[in-house]
Amino acid sequence: MNLNTSNIRSGLTKIKFNDNNFEMDYNNTILRIIPNEDLNYYIKINVNSASSSRTSWSFGASGTYVTLDYSDLNYTYKQSGYINSSQNCNVNKFTLNYNSDKLTIDICKLNSKSGTLIIDENVVSTNNIDLNITISSEQNIDNAYYNIDLNYILGNTRYIGYLPVN
């Protein structure tokens, strides 16, 4: 699934696929992927600045499988493993600090949904963070829909339901 959000300027955007939710909160610069089944995440981050500090994940024997591929002007970091995604948020998160800017990636239990991916980007300077996420699942992804109701009736044409992404 590829999603281009470059023209969305504000508000909360939700896309549903296979009863999973992709949420982008533009007012708070938070991205959430809320799964309904087991998802695996490949997260690639490139930053055009030098980080001042970071905290890393603690990997375990089971949970959600994650690969983090990260590089900035200070270092390159790539690691894969299982994150205990049934723990509460903010317990085991990956954080990058760039003086006044901060990027946090958390895979946790949010509103009783384990395996939720939360990316919180608090960037107020000119740092450019290029973030790519690949989501994989054992299930095929069916049609994707924006999480808005579209009720359209014109003559004999009628559509009631979610607005398709296509």
User: Strand pairing partners for 106?
Assistant: 93, 118
Tell me if 19 is assigned to some domain: yes
Look at residue 24 and tell me whether its pLDDT is greater than 60: no
Domain annotation covers residue 151? yes
Start-to-end CA distance of the chain, whole Å, equals: 11
Can you tell me the distance from the alpha carbon of 121 to that of 84, in angstroms, rounded to the nearest whole number? 22
**Within-domain flag for 137:** yes
pTM for the structure as a whole: 0.71
Domain assignment present for residue 141? The answer is: yes
Contact present, 82 and 75 (Cβ < 8 Å): no
Mean pLDDT of 103-127: 82
Q: Residue 17 pLDDT > 80, yes or no?
A: no
- Please write the tens of the pLDDT for every residue from 25-54: 555 566 777 776 678 889 998 888 888 888
Total domain count, the chain: 1
